[in-house]
Amino acid sequence: METAAYNINGKIWIFVEAGLQMEVLKETDQMLSFKLSSLDGAQDVIMTVTYASTDRGTRIALWEDLCDISTHMHLPWLVGGDFNVITEAAEKYGGLPVQFAEAEDFRHCIDSSKLVDLGFTGSMYTWWNGRSDEACIFKRLDRCLGNQALQNTYPNLEVEHLIKQGSDHSPLLISLKQDSRPIKKSFRFLNFWVEHETFQEVVKNNWIANFSADPFFNFHNKLKKGVQWFKDGDRNTNFFHAHVNGKRRRLQLKRIQDSGGVWLETKDDIAEEAIRFFTNQFQRGNIPTDFEMLKHIPRMISDEQKAELHEFQKKKR
């Protein structure tokens, strides 16, 4: 590695290879923000790596730092790491009920910082508490966020949740896929447009516009004129992109792994594997009946201890 940097408490380390130049911009005990420049003249990128506190009150300082950075941000900005909080109940399995106040703090920070979740491939959960019994807990504590400039510069950026190795967290791998030819799609009304501050005014202005023609022709042109505003006027705004890109990434299924560990990426292969998997899952013949493997589990207590525990339980009743 050519260059390395770390934050105040040494919990975040950054290693940069030759050919890239790193300039540390801001560091705290929960984040390290730096500018990454390529010697070949490519677009500079701002990256912020996080290691959030497990305490809600302490995390507020991180949320404030991210919001402050966003107010001066004009370059592509990637924010990623361990945030130690989820955004919704679906990102947690097991354990106590979700603390929605903590999730709301994080969501407010993401919105206020003009960031969107970049989505992911792989397992939903990036953290596991190491338990395999009823106390087992899974959460999505790690993620990557980006601003609109990052999405415009790297539209095919992809985040993958790798398999945990030597840690209770999954590593996140960020990569750029080859460019694909854009597909022209027909206009579709998106429900979030009704939340735009100028929505009612635009609809009203276009609806009262006069066209000297047949009434049905007037109706068609009013709809067409309103639609054109959505397609051309709002397409280049952060409001449009933040909603559309965020939703598109969440809904994409890009690839799956079959039982042999092979990654499948085409629609036909994914469909065939899904059919095979669920067919096998629900076949009666797949119910396990051979428990020979249980003999290999080591015994932790002796027969005498088992008898003592049994007698103790009888007395307790």
Rounded Cα distance between 90 and 140, Å, is 9
In 150-186, which positions are buried (b, 16+ CB within 10 angstroms) versus exposed (e)?
Answer: bbeebeebbbbbeebeeeebbebeeeeeeeeeeeeee
DSSP letter at 23 equals: E
DSSP letter at 114 equals: T
Report the phi/psi class of residue 250: left, alpha or beta, with left for phi > 0 and alpha for psi in -120 to 50.
alpha
| Domain definitions of the chain by residue range | 3-180, 191-247, 263-316
pTM, two decimal places: 0.58
Mind listing the pLDDT tens digit for each residue in 277-305?
766 665 555 555 555 655 656 666 778 88
Report the CATH architecture of 3-180. 4-Layer Sandwich (3.60)
What residue ranges of the chain have pLDDT lower than 70?
Answer: 1-2, 178-194, 206-254, 267-268, 271, 274-275, 278-300, 315-317
